[in-house]
Amino acid sequence: MDQARTENFVYPMWDESIIPTLCDYIKVPNKSPAFDPDWEKHGHMDEAVKMFEAWCRKQPIEGMQVEVVRLEGRTPVLFIEIPGQSDDVVLLYGHYDKQPEFSGWDEDLDPWLPVLKNGKLYGRGGADDGYAVFGSLTAIRTLQEQGIPHARCVVLIEGCEESGSFDLPYYIDHLGDRLGKPDLVVCLDAECGNYDQFWCTTSLRGNLTGNLKVQVLTEGVHSGSAGGVVPSCFRVLRQLLSRVEDAATGRILVDDLFVEIPEQRKEQAKLAAEVLGDSVYRKFPWIDGKAKPSESNYELMLNNYWRPNVTVTGADGLPAIVNAGNTMLPEISVKLSFRLPPTLDADVAAAAVKKVLEADPPPFAKVSFKVESTMAGWNAPPVADWLEKSMEKASQAYFGKPSVYMGTGGTIPFMGMLGEKFPEAQFLVTGLLGPNSNAHGPNEFLHIEKGKKLTCCVAQVLEDHFRRDQG
């Protein structure tokens, strides 16, 4: 593949076609079903997928078939088939649903308003994960423009990823014959350690969410009358949380949530820590800009990739401070989100957590932990020699630096599903969610230069995949 021709094709495609379409897409509040249960009625999901479909149909890709597949009551998927010059199959994946608005956006930014500033496109969903379908088809077009052969490609863009991909298994079954048996999976929905190299994700943590509820009274009572007699449900909640997490260190106290970390992943984490340095922690918006964790960058990466942690992500029963009186609350509920090691069975983890939280409840309290969802993690198979060489070649060509491997603390349910279904496939899980890109939070942005270079790298991998058996 000619590097100059590739860049001369890809870069204008981004500037003249991809970015304008992404700007229109950002304006659509197509929140994932978990955050918009009435998504069918509101029509935003349909608007977004039709927008993607229209753009795809305009691309002059030989033999391409584009279809929006709809199963009753489920978010539609965009499914694209592109014939190739071999019987091998490459599956390229992304999603078009979004996280909700979140608060804290800068005054000149808005989740549903695209803003171009300093080489970045701000707005919800551009980086997570609107660009995936555009990058995938542009990479394929790049090869065809140069007369370079590639395998049969199928592109699958789902609308339920931010809700745990609960619709996706039905589509995988429905499209089974058309999907075929991919020997390479390209997922453009991942983090990158910086914007200066080609990063490959080697593992993803699983996720367990559930609601912990503490009840002490049938109704609220005067705190002066009951205080000292009736235990505070908030105090009981603190007791229960201390069963699963060390309040001083954040270490999880449930032994069943830990696994043995593979030596290869430790070595990859060491190399990634050397590349990233203090940006491992400095990339986050600390209230104290001088914050420095006590653990090494290497240990922080293992904490993030391979060790469990828990976060309280929501609460019911606590009135806003402005409405808070002298009332002892009758009950309180919190939503807990556990990130789990990649190789841990999420259902086993859920049973262990439920047992610990519900066993021997504190006196006078009724306790329940209702599991909301479990999502498997994923640990990539060993990287094939051809893919490792291809990634290095692509990174050196378009970034001028070596490729890097890293785990990711987040969860992509699709990877776990595919890993089980196609255990012999190779995986290129990559993306452009780098430092401060803030997917799911305020001021989410897409790094445009990174998007262009990443598209070139994917094209290189597709070419090398086709030629991998040719020596």
Superfamily (CATH) of domain 3-204+378-467:
Zn peptidases (3.40.630.10)
- CATH topology match: 3-204+378-467 vs 206-258+307-375: no
pLDDT for 470 equals 75
Which whole-number Å values give the CA distances from 467 to 149, 238, 449, in the listed order? Answer: 9, 58, 28
Report strand pairing: 378-379 vs 77-82.
Answer: unpaired
Order the strands of the 331-340 sheet from edge to edge.
Answer: 309-316, 331-340, 206-215, 366-375
Would you write out the chain's pLDDT as a tens digit for each of its 471 residues?
Answer: 999 999 999 999 999 999 999 999 999 999 999 999 999 999 999 999 999 999 999 999 999 999 999 999 999 999 999 999 999 999 999 999 999 999 999 999 999 999 999 999 999 999 999 999 999 999 999 999 999 999 999 999 999 999 989 999 999 999 999 999 999 999 999 999 999 999 999 999 999 999 999 999 999 999 999 999 999 999 999 999 999 999 999 999 999 999 999 999 999 999 999 999 999 999 888 988 878 899 999 999 999 999 999 999 999 999 999 999 999 999 999 999 999 999 999 999 999 999 999 999 999 999 999 999 999 899 999 999 999 999 999 999 999 999 999 999 988 888 888 888 888 899 999 999 999 999 999 999 999 999 999 999 999 999 999 999 875
Domain spans, the chain: 3-204+378-467, 206-258+307-375
C-alpha 442: how far from its chain's center? 16
> Which residues, including other chains, have CB under 8 Å from residue 316's CB and lie 6 or more apart?
332, 333, 334
Q: Which of 379, 384, 403 is nearest to 454 (CA)?
A: 403
Residue reference for tokens 């707005």: 123
| CA contacts within 13 A on the Cβ side of 13 | 27
Rounded to 5°, the CA angle 47-53-58 comes to: 130
**Burial of 13 per CB tally in 10 Å (0-12, 13-18, 19+):** buried
User: How many residues are recorded in the chain?
Assistant: 471
Grouping H, G, I as helix, E, B as strand and the rest as coil, residue 129 is: helix
Q: Which of 94, 105, 123 is nearest to 21 (CA)?
A: 123
Give the whole-angstrom CA distance, residue 450 versus residue 228: 59
Residues 16/19/25/29 CA torsion (nearest 10 deg): -150
pLDDT for 126 equals 97
Please give the structure tokens belonging to residue 305. 């990739």
Please say whether the beta carbons of 323 and 349 come within 8 A.
no
Give the whole-angstrom CA distance, residue 107 versus residue 64: 43
Residue reference for tokens 């929905």: 189
Determine phi and psi for 54, rounding to 5 degrees. Answer: -60, -45
Give the whole-angstrom CA distance, residue 405 versus residue 421: 23
Element (H, E) at 157: strand 152-158
Full-model pTM: 0.89
Grouping H, G, I as helix, E, B as strand and the rest as coil, residue 292 is: coil
Give the whole-angstrom CA distance, residue 471 versus residue 459: 19
Q: Which fold has domain 206-258+307-375?
A: Alpha-Beta Plaits (3.30.70)
Q: Which amino acid is at 352?
A: A
